[in-house]
Structure 1
Amino acid sequence: MTTPDSGMDQWPNGRLLSTAARLVEHAWIEALESLGLTHAGLIVLHLLGEGAQSQTDLARQARVQTQTMSRTLDRLERQGLVARIRDERDARRHLVTRTDAGTGVWRQARTLEADVFPPLENADELRAALLEIITASSARRW
């Protein structure tokens, strides 16, 4: 809620979105840290729910560079949350899979959003608008 003298009701939508994103990100980072995760690590654990994948495929889906994904995977592997396994179809290639520990942390993280963020009356409408913004912005960038 804004107070009449805050002036936020006069802010442009971009500034509102940017401010909300920063505040949400700070709360999200703190909640993930309590599980020993980063946002990037959570994304990887989520993507691996569909099964083993290559580092290149994970990077593409997460929309990050392969080197960035490599650093994230290194950290998750040190924590025992993912494992790199040799691809049975191509011995030169490795696949990344979620470990049992990684699955456990992923399950804990799934409830964080409800714990961290306030319930919204029009959450579905907000979600649709955010997806529209992301899709339009991604088309120009990726």
Structure 2
Amino acid sequence: MAYQILRRHPAPAKDSPGVSAFVIEDSTSHLVSVVARLFARALQTRFAEHGVSAGQWPLLLYLWEKEGLSQKQLARRVQIEEPTTTRTLDRMERDGLVHRVRDATDRRRINVYLTERGRQLRDELVPYAQEVNALATHGLSEQDKSKINSLLNYMIARLD
């Protein structure tokens, strides 16, 4: 299956060596970054009416899976820095989506739980995420979708 390649700059000659041969539009990291930004923008547009940001979305996903995770566990799973996790959770707590409880056995650990509103958002937000995924992968075969996920998971494992 052929896909349109979006180029803002002409490709270098095939015999161009080294750094001068680097074309950003051919860079996997650039393409993955663009896709991530476009996904986030599409989600943000859909989530806005519910007062949820695209940055809060992965935290909600992990908490819907398992409540009571520590802030540190959430940061690790979402692959963001702990201070960013703390600031995001501050906003989520302010907005009534989560509450934090100091662990009874380890006072240094702060566990995160969903509020009733946070739990209810699952039924409202998941269809939007499914819609965005369907939009992004429209026209791809199930085999292509599976291959994309497999390749992305491979890259994550190599870089993590």
Measured against the shorter chain, the TM-score band is 0.7 to 0.9
Q: Does 1:107 align with 2:103?
A: no
Cα RMSD over matched residues? Answer: 2.9
- Indicate the residue corresponding to 2:58 in structure 1: 43
SS at match of 1:111: helix
Match of 1:8 among 4, 8, 20: 4
- Indicate the residue corresponding to 1:98 in structure 2: 114
Name the CA distance, whole Å, in 2 between partners of 1:93 and 1:19.
35
Flag structure 2 segments of 5+ consecutive residues without an equivalent: 8-25
After TM superposition, the structure 1 stretch with the greater mean CA deviation from structure 2, 114-123 or 24-33, is 114-123
Name the CA distance, whole Å, in 2 between partners of 1:62 and 1:47.
8
SS at match of 1:88: coil
Name the CA distance, whole Å, in 1 between partners of 2:131 and 2:149.
22
Q: Percent identity?
A: 27
Name the CA distance, whole Å, in 2 between partners of 1:59 and 1:132.
23
What's the TM-score once normalised by structure 2's chain length? 0.70
Using CA pairs under 8 Å that are at least 6 residues apart, name the structure with larger relative contact order, 1 or 2.
1
Bigger-Rg structure (1/2)? 2
Say how many residue pairs are matched: 137
Flag structure 1 segments of 5+ consecutive residues without an equivalent: none
What's the TM-score once normalised by structure 1's chain length? 0.77
- Indicate the residue corresponding to 2:20 in structure 1: none
Quickly say closer, same or farther: Cα 1:115–1:89, change in 2 above 3 A.
same
